[in-house]
Structure 1
Amino acid sequence: MSIKKIGSFEWMQSTDGHLNTKEKIKLLNEILLPSVLGVMKSQLHIGSSKSNINLKDIKVPDTKIIVEAINELNEKAPGTLINHSWRTYFWGAAIGLQDQRKYDPEVLLVASLYHDIGLTDTHKESKGCKCFTYESSMQFEKKAKHLNYDENKIKTVKDAICMHMNGHIAEDNESEVILLQQGASCDVVGDKLFTLSKDYRSEVLEKYPRLRFNSEFKKLLAEERKAVKSSRTRFLSQLGLPVMISMNPFGE
């Protein structure tokens, strides 16, 4: 019998996103050092980029699933989360290009657009005690199946959405799973931000301003950790996630 990866959609189906003690210890061992080192590098601007990547280098697919995802996000989410979702894509996609990591832009973008939809008012109450990433992935799956979207891509997107709160993703996962987490982490705590050029950072932030994201996101996380007592959100908060958000290089 295979062991379910913590945070994967399969793991979510059996746990609703609740960590047991062994899983907390495993996550602690996997995320603490990479996360701390990542934040330190961001604060010290270590690994600053000489990259020439700019916004026009990032492909934005205009497919049915993307159009539907944009419409749903715009209907349900406040501007703060809408812009965060787009920045997550542009950070993750650029990191992928810099690292010469092959990825499917459509898969990464649709995962970015759906990854926090479980935090919106539409779903915060209805999801009950489930992790918001599980709710987000199920909302994506509902839309994807309605559009007869590719089953392999559905699985990848669901895992990417569910696992992005792990804090760190191992290299044995699909590129889109890794890049969604890295893009979200870049936007939330600044991890890998300074591997991207100043011009690129300015382009993304001008097009998708933060709109007091730090304060608003910390409020959403506080609500989530109260609603789901043994969630990864609560565990990461206990490890200092709100402080890391406050210390990120973006300001509000």
Structure 2
Amino acid sequence: MLPKQIAGISIPDSALAAEATELVRDTESELLFDHSLRVYLFGALQGRRLGLKYDPEMLYIGAIFHDMGLTEQYRSPDERFEVDGANAARTFLERHGVPESSIEVVWDAIALHTTPGIPKWKKPEVALVTAGVELDVLGLGYDDVSAEARDQVLTAFPRVDFKRRIVQAFADGIKHKPETAFGNVKADVLDKLLPGYVRPNFCAMIAASPFCE
């Protein structure tokens, strides 16, 4: 059972949220599951600070599904892992009859969470999933959240050698399809951990296009 509230943020406990929690917990490693809950809580804390109005249940679904595309069960052979996670959430929400408008928001929240500069201009749920990811992974906005709130989040969902293990989890989830890292931050992960990986160069790709000029 998850706590009902952490740092003044309620954790959704509807039937939909409970089933999503069970699915994600049964699929992801403890590392990814605890990270995903921290993403929800940190995102919600940022939302409270900014006075944003959002659907807590959809923010929660977006947060806990955001790394499902890294798992063996949900990773595809050729799509970005963010898209795999977004598609997993879509399938789950469609099965429960959630309106398409809400599904699209959750899909965007997951698919865009590693694309800096865009989510903040989208719906609050989209912006806040990325805000939670950026805080937990990169420390962006660390001082926006009080030390007391951070401590409560970390007590409930601890970081255990997180900085090293999350990078390895990223690499393990996408090393079979390195081409999907082109143009996004995961190229840095493969450059560090995948032997023989050569980062694609956008300018070289333009020069190599088949047009005669």
TM-score range (shorter-chain normalised) is 0.7 to 0.9
Deviations 1:102-147 (A, max 9, x none): 11111110101111011113234xx101111111111111111111
- Kindly tell me: are residues 56 and 242 of structure 1, through their superposed partners in 2, closer, same or farther at Cα, counting changes over 3 Å? farther
Q: TM-score, normalised by structure 2?
A: 0.80
Greater C-alpha Rg? 2
SS at match of 1:160: helix
Work out whether 1:173 is the aligned partner of 2:113.
no
Correspondence for 1:86: 37
**What RMSD in Å do the two structures reach over aligned CA positions?**
2.3
Contact 1:160 1:181 in 2 (8 A): yes
Correspondence for 1:131: 80
Amino acid of the structure 2 residue aligned with 1:150: P
Amino acid of the structure 2 residue aligned with 1:180: V
- Kindly tell me: are residues 147 and 225 of structure 1, through their superposed partners in 2, closer, same or farther at Cα, counting changes over 3 Å? closer
Q: TM-score, normalised by structure 1?
A: 0.68
Work out the CA distance in 1 between the residues paired with 2:176 and 2:108: 22
Contact 1:108 1:180 in 2 (8 A): yes
Q: Quick check: which one's helix share is greater? A: 1
| Equivalent of 2:176 in 222, 227, 230 | 227
Count of residue pairs the alignment pairs up: 188
Deviations 1:68-108 (A, max 9, x none): 11011111011101100000001000001101111111111
| Equivalent of 1:182 in 113, 131, 143 | 131
Amino acid of the structure 2 residue aligned with 1:209: P
Deviation at 1:232, TM superposition (A): 4.6
Contact 1:114 1:137 in 2 (8 A): yes
Work out the CA distance in 2 between the residues paired with 1:205 and 1:162: 26
- Kindly tell me: are residues 193 and 81 of structure 1, through their superposed partners in 2, closer, same or farther at Cα, counting changes over 3 Å? same
| Equivalent of 2:91 in 142, 150, 153 | 142
Where in structure 1 are there 5+ consecutive unaligned residues?
1-53, 244-252
Deviations 1:46-77 (A, max 9, x none): xxxxxxxx935212222222111101111101
Amino acid of the structure 1 residue aligned with 2:77: G
| Equivalent of 1:108 in 31, 56, 59 | 59
SS at match of 1:152: helix
Moved over 4 A (4+): 237-243
Work out the CA distance in 2 between the residues paired with 1:167 and 1:200: 25
Contact 1:169 1:181 in 2 (8 A): no
Deviation at 1:226, TM superposition (A): 3.1
Work out the CA distance in 1 between the residues paired with 2:13 and 2:74: 26
Contact 2:27 2:71 in 1 (8 A): yes
Work out the CA distance in 1 between the residues paired with 2:92 and 2:134: 26
Amino acid of the structure 2 residue aligned with 1:147: H
Contact 2:17 2:61 in 1 (8 A): yes
Work out the CA distance in 2 between the residues paired with 1:108 and 1:70: 13
Work out the CA distance in 2 between the residues paired with 1:84 and 1:241: 21
- Kindly tell me: are residues 228 and 58 of structure 1, through their superposed partners in 2, closer, same or farther at Cα, counting changes over 3 Å? same
Correspondence for 2:199: none
Where in structure 2 are there 5+ consecutive unaligned residues?
193-213
Deviation at 1:208, TM superposition (A): 0.3
| Equivalent of 1:70 in 7, 16, 21 | 21
Structure having greater relative contact order (Cα 8 Å, sep ≥ 6)? 1
The percent of aligned pairs where both chains have the same amino acid is 27
Contact 1:168 1:181 in 2 (8 A): no
Contact 2:20 2:61 in 1 (8 A): yes
